[in-house]
Structure 1
Amino acid sequence: MSPLDGKVALVTGGASGIGAAIARRFASGGARVVIADVDPVGETVAREIAGAFVRTDVARLADNIAAVRTATKLFGSLDIAVLNAGIGEQGGFIEDFRPEHYRDLVSVNLDGVVYGLHAALEIFTEQGSGAILATASLAGLSESPMNPLYAATKHAVIGLVRSVAPVVADRGVTVNALCPTFIDTPILGEAIPFISDMGVAVLSPERVAEVAELVLARGGTGQAWPVVPHGEPGPFAFPDIPSIMSDPNRQVPEAAS
């Protein structure tokens, strides 16, 4: 049986790209899906999958709460929250820095996940179960000189996921991150041919949706799952960090007599 069968899922940014692919895959697996997006095209996707659409600006906490409550009102519960809405970086970090776009980037890519987590956890904590997937990026696991601000928001999402997961584990809630490489979505726009010419793979949104379902089936938490063109999908192995404990071999000076 699919881990999606009979579940209710909320997908932010579900009007196109990765979000739409996840919404379609989840619906095909037996889930009832609510698409939360600022783009009214989400209504078309919702009709296609016999789901529901709620206009949602993820940069607003109230909108995230309203989206979650819409899902529970329409379908009686909420089991999965996919916090996927995101925007790409515009302009350079040094020569063409745009403070207003930087604020938009943080508001959607990071605040949207923070607010979505809060909204979903209100329901999941009460019912004692739930799964949260946040769309980060491979740029959140490494350096990204061409998009440093975008990478910063995605590093933050992964840090948030890994830090919140142990806090809510005893409440029956899992929290994981998807970390796709370049995906054929509106965020890349006209850059796709140039990326392909460099020999870098550009994957379909459906590949991310496939990995999203696999993450739910595995049932782990606090993990970041790369979505790349090779190998079997699996959680990223984070390196051990230096110990913060006192050195056990440290010599303690004797007290003066």
Structure 2
Amino acid sequence: MQKIAILTDSASDLSIEILKENNIHLFPLRIIYSNEEFEDKITITPEEVYKKLPIEIPTTSLPSPKTSEKVLKKLEDEGYTHVIAISVSSGLSGTFNAFRLALEEHPNLISYVYDSKIIGFPQGVLVLEASRLVKNGQSFEDIIKELPKIRENITGYFTLNTLEYLKKGGRIGRLAGTIGQFLHLKPIITVDDNGVYYASNKVRGRKQSLSKMIEILQSHLNESKCNVWVLEGGCMDEVLAFSESIKSLDNVNFMGIMPVGAMVAVHSGPGMVGLAIQKI
């Protein structure tokens, strides 16, 4: 009989509470300052990241081999036979390969690593759907087949106060960061088919960027009903107002607000507003 574990990294922005409720296992990414190191979701919060940003912009790194080994050993000890790991986009992080290498050291666990080609709570939505399939008794093989189909219906967009933190973190992708800085443009950022950031739209000013995101959401709602999550990165007042403008839209099946995690906060800085959209 198969006992299947769902494993993800902390870039999925699933809280510890959600992870526990859904029996999802975690490889925490590391947040590294000049004199100390933290594990995302475990020993540092987004609020602590924002507080430290004026003093030092940290770097982020792959899960520690020690922590990864501890997680996988625990799965073996608990009798798991299969592992499905869902990673942050390989176009933005080396976590996909880190999962593969760690699982190769545990041949008793039959494993599959899926590159989500996305980041943040949109990745988290995919992870939650995989967990739901496990709860529903789907087999390891069937879940693997379903993942690409589920992923096709999930997308994400976000806008930032500044591109400074993305640039310093080396996550700029296809974004024209310097142009945005000098012309005061606010790009609406998403990922391409390779899971690399690019600007789907460029508008002038914060108000226009939020309005453009509503337009983008509306285009998805015109096609089908959607579950919608507003992603909040250090700007709750703005997010609450933004959310109010979504509630009245037709075809919104569900709407929630999700705070971003510490790893995403490092690269976005304060003032991130995002959308996770799942067509249903």
> TM over 0.5, yes or no?
no
Structure with a larger share of its residues in strand: 2
| Range class of TM-score, shorter chain | under 0.3
Point out which structure has higher relative CO (alpha carbons under 8 A, 6+ apart).
2
TM-score of the pair, normalised by structure 1: 0.26
